[in-house]
């Protein structure tokens, strides 16, 4: 069977590429060995947020997961219907690239002019004794089926996944401990965000251990022990019913290429140029499987649209220069552009403006936790270069700031836009006014 484009992986990048290519009149075959929607929809972004929405002490755990399943099923059904409408051929099974333009799946062989790799990522496993014991779980384990109902949990890793799961289980009344190897949680984000989130987590009763190196995991489900060395070199132990390993994710390329036809890899991830080209002609990659990529669903979707455009001899449709990041804690966290520390490291002269939630009417009405909106602007021109938010609806508000950065808006221009009252969005204009003065 011959197709214009073959896509391996049906996650956000894969199904977006399939829909985009089919809409352009290309014949498309999409390979997915599990469920269309990939990790994000089935055992990642969507189920996590659905559970966070319903989480509270004494919440019916089974009902929470039933609703999570209903949300996931509805979204996946919608994607499959759209692909069917676009006449995308969906092949269930594990696909392997056996030669340029040739993919096998089961006992069938498929040919395509272009192949797009969109296989995403899998949870990273750290080399610690006991990591494979029963009672040690990945994020997928906690999100699939009926989940894991425990009264205590040790989370190894204080990145986005670890912090969101800590928020979830603490909201359910569980005793939670985060053990993070670096000096602070959410290490890629602004230091002030890390400090503020740490404060909120501790107020919820979550223990946060940073600069902590895990040395061993012991026990059995219901009675697990995590041994670690703290920042002072002291040997410590955290006990819980279960252990979640949340140490990031790695590119999913195992078994993807037949021997002798592998493209250039870096630590198991595909090396690509800015357009998504690998070292092999007509072989492209998008999303988490790409070396050095930001592992976010919206990045994969944007790259999907761009790669398909390039394949179709068009110019890329989406700018990859400004990428917002979000953390669904309480309050929410979002960041876009550069931080003040990054600006200084680049030798840029910047000014910083901040508005606090304590002076915002809507935040006070909703009794939100303390937070802020912080803007980083060029000192000479006033152009907005970055923004960091810790406040209600931060994950929605950040889009306005991403647009402002993309368009080169100044703080004066941003402050001149009327924001409705009373809303959390007034924090943006308030922060901008401190820079426009």
**Could you tell me if 420 and 225 are in contact, meaning their C-beta atoms sit under 8 angstroms apart?**
no
Q: Determine whether 116 is exposed, middle or buried from the number of CB atoms within 10 Å of its CB (0-12, 13-18, 19+).
A: buried
Angle between helix axes 45-54 and 160-171 (nearest 10 degrees) is 30
Tokens of 68: 């999570």
Considering 53, 65, 282, 421, which one is annotated as catalytic? 421
Q: C-alpha distances in angstroms, 241 versus 152, 220, 232, 236, 308?
A: 5, 8, 26, 17, 47
Q: How far apart are alpha carbons 83 and 86 in whole angstroms?
A: 5
DSSP annotation string for 66-77: HHHHHHHHHHHH
In the residue annotation, 421 being an active-site residue is answered as: yes
Q: Where do the DSSP E strands lie in 338-423?
A: 350-356, 372-378, 384-390
Q: Where do the DSSP E strands lie in 170-266?
A: 175-179, 207-209, 213-220, 223-229, 235-240, 242-245, 249-251, 265-266
The residues facing 91 across adjacent strands are 31
Q: How far apart are alpha carbons 344 and 340 in whole angstroms?
A: 6
Q: Which residues are catalytic?
A: 421
């Amino acid at each position: 069977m011959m197709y214009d484009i073959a896509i391996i992986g049906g996650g956000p990048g894969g199904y977006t590429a399939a829909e985009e290519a089919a809409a352009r009149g290309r014949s498309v075959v999409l390979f997915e060995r599990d469920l269309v929607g990939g990790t994000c929809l089935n055992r990642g972004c969507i189920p996590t947020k659905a559970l966070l929405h319903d989480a509270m002490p004494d919440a019916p755990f089974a009902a929470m997961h039933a609703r999570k399943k209903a949300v996931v099923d509805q979204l996946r059904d919608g994607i499959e219907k759209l692909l069917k409408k676009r006449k995308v051929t969906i092949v269930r099974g594990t696909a392997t690239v056996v030669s340029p333009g040739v993919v096998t799946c089961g006992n069938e062989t498929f040919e395509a002019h272009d192949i797009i790799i969109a296989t995403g990522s899998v949870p990273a496993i750290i080399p610690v004794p006991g990591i494979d014991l029963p009672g040690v779980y990945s994020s997928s384990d906690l999100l699939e089926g009926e989940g894991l109902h425990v009264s205590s949990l040790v989370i190894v890793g204080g990145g986005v996944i670890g912090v969101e799961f800590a928020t979830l289980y603490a909201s359910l009344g569980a005793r939670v401990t985060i053990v993070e190897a670096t000096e602070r949680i959410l290490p890629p984000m602004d230091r002030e965000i890390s400090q503020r989130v740490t404060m909120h987590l501790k107020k919820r009763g979550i223990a946060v251990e940073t600069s902590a190196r895990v040395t061993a995991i012991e026990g059995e489900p219901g009675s697990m022990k995590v041994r670690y060395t703290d920042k002072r070199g002291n040997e410590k132990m955290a006990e819980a019913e279960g252990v979640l390993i949340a140490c990031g994710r790695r590119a999913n390329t195992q078994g993807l290429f037949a021997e002798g036809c592998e493209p250039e890899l870096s630590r198991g991830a595909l090396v690509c140029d800015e357009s998504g080209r690998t070292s092999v002609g007509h072989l492209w990659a998008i999303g988490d499987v790409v070396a050095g990529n930001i592992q976010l669903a919206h990045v994969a979707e944007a790259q999907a649209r761009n790669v398909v455009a390039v394949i179709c001899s068009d110019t890329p449709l989406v700018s990859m220069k400004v990428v917002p990041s979000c953390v669904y804690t309480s309050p929410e966290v979002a960041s876009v552009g550069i931080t003040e520390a990054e600006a200084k490291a680049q030798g840029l002269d910047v000014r910083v403006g901040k508005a606090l939630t304590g002076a915002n009417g809507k935040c006070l009405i909703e009794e939100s936790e303390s937070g802020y909106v912080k803007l980083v602007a060029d000192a000479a021109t006033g152009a907005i270069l970055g923004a960091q938010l810790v406040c209600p609806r931060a994950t929605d508000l950040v889009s306005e700031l991403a647009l402002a950065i993309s368009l080169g808006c100044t703080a004066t221009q941003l402050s001149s836009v009327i924001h409705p009252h009373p809303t959390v969005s007034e924090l943006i204009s308030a922060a901008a006014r401190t820079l426009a003065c």
